Amino acid sequence: MHGPPLVGWLLVVVCGASGAYLLFLRSAGPPELRRGAGGEALMGLVMAAMALPLPQPQPWSARAFAAVFAVLAVHGLLPARGDGHRVHHVVGSLAMVYAALAMPTAAGPGHPGHSAAQSPGGLPLVTGLLLGYFAVYMLCAGARLVPAGGAPATRPGPPPGLGRVLRPEPATACRVSTAMAMFAMLLTV
């Protein structure tokens, strides 16, 4: 990533924690939550690796990250069949392919792999559309986390402890935080 190092480290923490939780959910969660958790966990962990603030990015890293996210997008397309969440996963994967290819391979003009004519940032229209998509997704998914009427949820649930971790709300919170991380990464493109 080519933003400020503090932002990079914050993205590493957010994406890494979300990826780790979704990986846990993939192995120990209820069947209805396991379905998409594996691909999302991999996406979160690779996003964490992509956000690492390295002093000198390697020229091959952008292509490697783009390849991983392209494979995730293709994997998400295979069983899509109208599932809105899978469609979001594919859009997220393609957004990360775009971000990986738009990130410069060096710190600025005059460095190998980055010419003065090549401007980091990709295409402003595509970046703007993706920023808009993830902003709307964050608001809509985040709104599902707030109980109706502002009252605490009184839904019967599992007993305190591990059972609360395996409910749908933490998984939705991880998806919102991953969308926020994608939004932040797109801002630095």
- Residues 86-117 have pLDDT tens digits of 788 889 999 999 988 887 654 444 444 443 33
Which amino acid makes up residue 91? V
- Residues 12-61 have pLDDT tens digits of 999 999 999 988 888 887 777 777 788 888 889 999 998 888 877 777 88
Residue 171 belongs to some domain of the structure: yes
Residue 125 belongs to some domain of the structure: yes
- Residues 150-185 have pLDDT tens digits of 555 555 555 555 555 667 778 888 889 999 999 988
Residue 11 belongs to some domain of the structure: yes
Residue 113 belongs to some domain of the structure: no
7 band by pLDDT with thresholds 50, 70 and 90: confident
For the stretch 144-153, contacts whose Cβ atoms lie closer than 8 Å and that sit 24 or more positions apart, written own/partner, are 144/172, 145/169, 145/172, 145/173, 145/176
Task: Report the share of the chain in percent with pLDDT over 90.
Answer: 26
Q: Which of 27, 25, 48 is nearest to 178 (CA)?
A: 48
What confidence score (pLDDT) does residue 106 get? 44
> Does this model's pTM top 0.85?
no
The angle that helices 5-28 and 37-51 make with each other, rounded to 10 degrees, is 160
Is the pLDDT assigned to residue 126 strictly greater than 80? yes
**Region of 152 on the Ramachandran plot (φ > 0 left; ψ -120 to 50 alpha; else beta):** beta
CB 119 within 8 Å of CB 187:
no
Is the pLDDT assigned to residue 120 strictly greater than 70? no
Give the number of domains in the chain: 1
The angle that helices 168-188 and 5-28 make with each other, rounded to 10 degrees, is 150
Please give the Cα distance from 64 to 186 (Å, whole number).
18
Q: Where in the sequence is the domain holding 56, given as residue range(s)?
A: 5-107+118-147+159-188
Residue 72 belongs to some domain of the structure: yes
Residue 154 belongs to some domain of the structure: no
- Residues 127-143 have pLDDT tens digits of 999 999 999 999 998 88
What confidence score (pLDDT) does residue 160 get? 56
